[in-house]
Structure 1
Amino acid sequence: MSEKQKIGNYRWRIVVLLFFATTINYIDRQVLGILAPELQNLFNWSESDYGFIIMAFQIAYAIGLLTTGSILDRIGTKRGFSIAIILWSLAGMAHAAARSVFTFAVSRFALGIGESANFPAAVKTVAEWFPKKERALATGIFNSGPNVGAILTPLVIPIIALNWGWKWAFISTGLLGFVWLIFWLVTYRRPEENPKLSAAEKAFILQDGEETTGQTISWKQIIGHKQTLGICLARFVTDPVWWFFLYWLPKFLNSNYGIDLTNIGLPLVTIYVISIGGSILGGWISSQLINKGKNPVSARKITILMMAVLVVPIYFVSGISNMWLAVLFISMAAFAHQGYAANIFTLVSDLYPKNAVGSVVGLSGFAGAIGGVLFSAAVGLILEFSGSYHVVFGIASVAYLVCWAVLKIFVPDSELIEIRS
């Protein structure tokens, strides 16, 4: 019998649940984008109307990230994740009843509040269920969910909308959350309380000897550490690049290569399929470095530097005449972002006690969301005045190197954080 068989693998069932929750999260948020042309014609939205609806989600998402992490640390992962997916599923379904810009914006705001809990809850769950040496790989697996969601949405939603109408696109995707909830409630209990977990696997999960107390941590205790500032700054400069990919790539492909809704699927699917590998490989690389004796924090930063170098060639994209070569460079950057994300999330659980993880992920996610809102506004102004994506891709090409430098300055390799409640 192998060592892995002796230890057991129940913890990987938890990762599968996190993967599906994250996939559903991204499907629900992207439905509106796929249906936007039809809905704009149906409800006679202006571009500013649509922008207002999108802004409602982004603002709510930022607010939610600032607050949901702390709530999760207070009420626990199982209950917190359950409430979040109920809220965002109902909000997604509520889009089907919306008729005005205001009611769509309200639905979108509620969706943003609910969905903001996904990543703090998922990272906190990984911290509870995995030793440090496996956390990046586990995070990489669930963090491939956004890519799968980004692939499935443009393939499935048009079929539903064309056959049953746009309302059912929102209703059917909202129902997915309730299906997931059943499996979550049946499966999830903390390792210390789970009777289905073998003694060997429980000991393996808890080998780092960290505190698992449910005592709460104040914002003052978290913000007072330079590592918190470093992680927040890192997210502030890199999260906007991913938001740019989600919202602007179709427009870029249309303006530079004449790609429209009839043939947008293959380039986008190619980009997101390739990026899935980055999420998993990024986690695997840092785990291998740890297995070879590297300090966990050092291993995460080395991997982030590797990913940052892969993003640099995106600088040349706006000047490339061959669409598929441009798609290749964009795919490399998306691949690298996901490899980076697997490690920046895991870095939080490496540095902070478990009862502070949700709060720190939420706080840093808030910083990233604010960066995304500001960058989206900047992109619009840059394109309006220059008509070129050159500056935008130039900023994106160095963002991850800046992130690595910030982490190098603010996050020492061996200085773990102790916070006493």
Structure 2
Amino acid sequence: MRVIALTLLMVAGTVNYLDRSALSIGNAAIRADLHLSDAQMGLLLSVFAVAYGVAQLPVGILVDRFGPRRVLGLSLVLWSLAQGTASFSSTLRQFVVARAALGIGESPMYLAGTKVCSNWFARAERAWPIGLFNASSALGPAIAPGILTILLLHYGWRSMFLIIGAAGLVVAVLWPLLYRDPEQYGISEAERAAIHAGDDDTPDHGGWTVLLRQPTSWGMAFGFLGVIYMTWLYGTWLPDYLERARHLSVAAAGIWTSVPQACGFLGALLSGLVARWLARFGVQPLAACKLPLIAGMLVTAACTASAALVHSVPAAIALVSLALFSASLASSCGWSMASVATSPQRVATLEAIQNIGGSVGAGLAPVITGEMVQLTGSFTPALLFASGIAVLSALIYAVFVREPVRVPS
């Protein structure tokens, strides 16, 4: 069941990011078809993140209460239908509604995935499976440019949206058909005790309001804002950046966009192994996630600033690749952090709090970048600003995330 669960989560997460990436890959075609400005496109790119963030806390509570099998199964259907519906949009308003529905539908994906790992893996082992399934958040963008560019050039952006929406419906059938929560699967009490050895089993008095009184919760939320700001900066604007700032064709931009995203996939895969390696050397689980996260954000900041200033196209692509490698490593460590910072019965709620901050970053990155590009005619100020955000994120984690969340009995 562990193998089945991780395989399905990887597939669902990859489709999830194919859906998200469709708008950025089709950026130029959609902007021309709907007659949108850079600022309007930045707004459209941000709508998903705003809806995603608003849904986080209620969805996290639902995942903790009803389990990931039911909640993720329903969300797969909703987001796939929303993606298909977007293909019929003829105005900015219609597209905004479809993207908002996509954000709400996709909001349980990684909360449910972390809950699955918390239910099926022991505390010291969770960073690896969480890093593995979270790598789908980088695998999707890595394979999206090639797949979606082919669909875009051969069939147009509307058919591209329909096809990947249909792919999501296939996964929506497979998830409830093949996956079972531990209670439904019938694991023994001894197995369950082994999985949850070392977990905080304090009764949940006060619910999510108690979590909000913990400095660690706020540090994770504001720190993750910077992490996701960086991944969404590249996730939403990289193809357009390569076309306009580096003067590549649509086809070439589609190909070269996949290189940094592939490096992001490798960074996400490596994160779980790094945390596991640190834990074996006696580093506490929370610190084993926190230390590589901070290092990753500092490297991301340095590479992003350097990419803004170099003149060579290969050098810029190499620097962006290293930036996304480091940002994806940091992102996966952030997702793993919640699983060791609190008990399994509260993990989805804590991750929802963290991901509200991440969703703010995801909402700000496209809008701020679009506004800066429109005002200055250049991507350089936007990249330098993002570098500062990455440094601030690392500082927040260093100062505020020092100990696991403690819920009083």
1:245 deviates by: 0.7
Query: CA 1:303–1:146 in structure 2 vs 1: closer, same or farther (change >3 Å)?
Result: same
1:24 deviates by: 0.7
Paired position in structure 2 for 1:221: 210
Q: How does 1:110-125 map to 2 (within 5 A)?
A: 110-125=101-116
1:202 deviates by: 5.1
The one-letter code of the counterpart of 1:160 is L
Residue aligned with 1:99, SS:
coil
State the alpha-carbon separation in 2 of the partners of residues 375 and 193 from structure 1. 41
Paired position in structure 1 for 2:340: 350
Paired position in structure 1 for 2:220: 231
1:364 aligns with 2:354: yes
1:108 aligns with 2:99: yes
Query: CA 1:39–1:309 in structure 2 vs 1: closer, same or farther (change >3 Å)?
Result: closer
Report how many aligned residue pairs link the two structures.
408
The one-letter code of the counterpart of 2:286 is V
**What TM-score, normalized to structure 2?**
0.90
The Cα offsets for residues 263-316 of structure 1, whole Å up to 9 and x where unpaired, read as: 112321111111111111111011111112211112112222332342223322
Query: CA 1:48–1:227 in structure 2 vs 1: closer, same or farther (change >3 Å)?
Result: closer
State the alpha-carbon separation in 2 of the partners of residues 385 and 96 from structure 1. 30
The Cα offsets for residues 141-162 of structure 1, whole Å up to 9 and x where unpaired, read as: 1122122221332222343355
Residue aligned with 2:252, SS:
coil
State the alpha-carbon separation in 1 of the partners of residues 28 and 366 from structure 2. 20
Paired position in structure 1 for 2:129: 138
Paired position in structure 2 for 1:303: 292
1:324 deviates by: 1.1
State the alpha-carbon separation in 1 of the partners of residues 81 and 108 from structure 2. 15
Paired position in structure 1 for 2:268: 279
1:92 deviates by: 0.9
Is the Cα contact below 8 Å between 2:222 and 2:396 reproduced in 1?
Answer: yes
Paired position in structure 2 for 1:256: 245
Is the Cα contact below 8 Å between 2:42 and 2:371 reproduced in 1?
Answer: no
Q: Residue 32 of structure 1: which of 18, 23, 28 is its match?
A: 23
Paired position in structure 2 for 1:418: 407
Q: Residue 45 of structure 2: which of 54, 78, 85 is its match?
A: 54
State the alpha-carbon separation in 2 of the partners of residues 167 and 371 from structure 1. 28
Structure 1 stretch 56-65 or stretch 32-41: which is displaced more?
A: 32-41
Paired position in structure 1 for 2:175: 184
Q: Residue 73 of structure 2: which of 82, 91, 112 is its match?
A: 82
Percent of pairs identical after alignment? 25
The Cα offsets for residues 338-364 of structure 1, whole Å up to 9 and x where unpaired, read as: 111111111111111222211221222
Query: CA 1:316–1:139 in structure 2 vs 1: closer, same or farther (change >3 Å)?
Result: same
State the alpha-carbon separation in 1 of the partners of residues 98 and 376 from structure 2. 35
State the alpha-carbon separation in 1 of the partners of residues 317 and 45 from structure 2. 26
The one-letter code of the counterpart of 1:19 is M
The Cα offsets for residues 247-275 of structure 1, whole Å up to 9 and x where unpaired, read as: 22223323332113031123211111111
**What TM-score, normalized to structure 1?**
0.88
Residue aligned with 1:262, SS:
helix
Structure 1 stretch 374-383 or stretch 295-304: which is displaced more?
A: 374-383
Q: Which runs of 5+ in 1 are unaligned?
A: 1-9
Q: CA RMSD in A?
A: 2.6
Q: Which runs of 5+ in 2 are unaligned?
A: none
The one-letter code of the counterpart of 2:57 is L
1:231 deviates by: 0.4
Residue aligned with 2:311, SS:
coil
Query: CA 1:34–1:142 in structure 2 vs 1: closer, same or farther (change >3 Å)?
Result: same
